[in-house]
Structure 1
Amino acid sequence: MKQKTPFHGRRAQQGVGMLEVMIAVLVLAIGILGIAALQAITLKNTGSSASRTQAAIQVYSMMDIIRADRANLGTYNTNIYTAGDGTGTAGTMMGWLDGLKTTVAPDAKGRVICDANSMICSIGVQWSDVRATGGAAIPGKIEVTSQL
């Protein structure tokens, strides 16, 4: 003769709904944390991109300053990366170097190398790009060479 297993009815199912809700909340929380981490990385990369864009703008700005004053080409040579000292005025070499600190990064430096004979100038901007992905002090650098 076959024995029947006892049927416990609703008592065996108590708490299952609460367990399902807790698992759903856990999965949702993990998803939201992932989105928050992705947003943080995106903000860091946006800041790094803004620095690169401003550096490119500043390089071309210095190129325009030099083009406007071709007669004094030799006065713009720095030959090494130099930081501004806060005393420059707009449209001058020191003003440009000071502008790098405010627009690109606080540690930004600029370099200008011009050859008066060939009228070729190389302008560069260098900064520590700590806002890039990874957080390491990766040197950011942009250089443009042009004949005036």
Structure 2
Amino acid sequence: MRRAPAFRSMAGVSMIEVLVAVLILVFGVLGVAALQMTALRNSQSAMQHSQGVALTYAMIDRMRADALQARIGSYNLGNLGSDLGGTGTTVWTCALPDNGTALPVAERREWMEQVRGPGGLEPNACVIIDCDDANCAVGVRWDDTRGTQGNANQRIITRTRL
């Protein structure tokens, strides 16, 4: 005499098991998508930092080519205040400088157009060029709130001796 088993073995997968597996897969895909968005934001922020450094070096190279004018302050825009290691109050220049035919004036305007242009940081970026004799500082400031824990006033200041 055969005894019936105490429980029936099931063949296949139940609908609830399939639903649970799909939910786990959906949450995993959403997590990967969120990770990708964060990585893209941070990558953009890092690229802007690199651009800021390259732009400050570009202006310093322009001033080195015309060191006499740079040393007497012909390239100056704004003021590096005491909070940034200079003297007085910090003044950022956010508007494009006037057009002019003199080399320092033309160089400043062209550089600031690069800072604010399509290949630069952003259209609302601000700058400082502050030379006092042979000691010069070049700075750029932009809005980096898109990056993770970004700062609305991100800045890079490069100091050099001409």
By the TM > 0.5 criterion, same fold? yes
Which deviations, in whole Å up to 9, do the C-alpha atoms of 1:110-132 show, x marking residues without a partner? 1011012xx01011111111221
Q: 1:64 aligns with which of 46, 52, 61?
A: 61
Residue 159 of structure 2, aligned match among 127, 137, 145: 145
| TM-score, normalised by the number of residues in structure 1 | 0.81
SS in 1 for 2:153: strand
Counterpart in 1 of 2:25? 28
Equivalenced residues, count: 140
Kindly provide the CA deviation profile for residues 15-66 of structure 1, in whole angstroms up to 9, marking residues without a partner as x. 8522211111110100000000000111111111111110000000000000
Normalising by structure 2, we get a TM-score of 0.75
> Structure 1 residues 69, 86: CA separation in 2 closer, same or farther (over 3 Å shift)?
closer
Percent identity of paired positions between Structure 1 and Structure 2: 33
Query: Structure 1: which 5+ residue stretches go unaligned?
Result: none
1:51 equivalent to 2:48? Answer yes
Give secondary structure in 2 for the equivalent of 1:126.
Answer: strand
Q: What's the CA shift string for 1:55-95, capped at 9, x where partnerless? A: 00000000000000012111111123112538769970011
2-side partners of 1:25 and 1:132: how far apart? Answer: 32
- Which SS does the other structure have where 1:26 is aligned? helix
RMSD of aligned residue pairs (Cα, Å): 2.6
Which of 128, 132, 139 is matched with 2:147 structurally? 132
Shift of 1:96: 0.8
Q: Structure 2: 5+ residue runs without aligned partners?
A: 80-90
Q: Which amino acid aligns with 1:100?
A: V
Misfit runs of 4+, over 3 Å: 4-10, 13-16, 86-91
In proportion to residue count, which structure has more strand? Answer: 1
Which one has a larger percent helix, Structure 1 or Structure 2? 1
SS in 1 for 2:148: coil
> Residues 49 and 87 from structure 1, CA distance in 2 versus in 1: closer, same or farther, beyond 3 angstroms?
farther
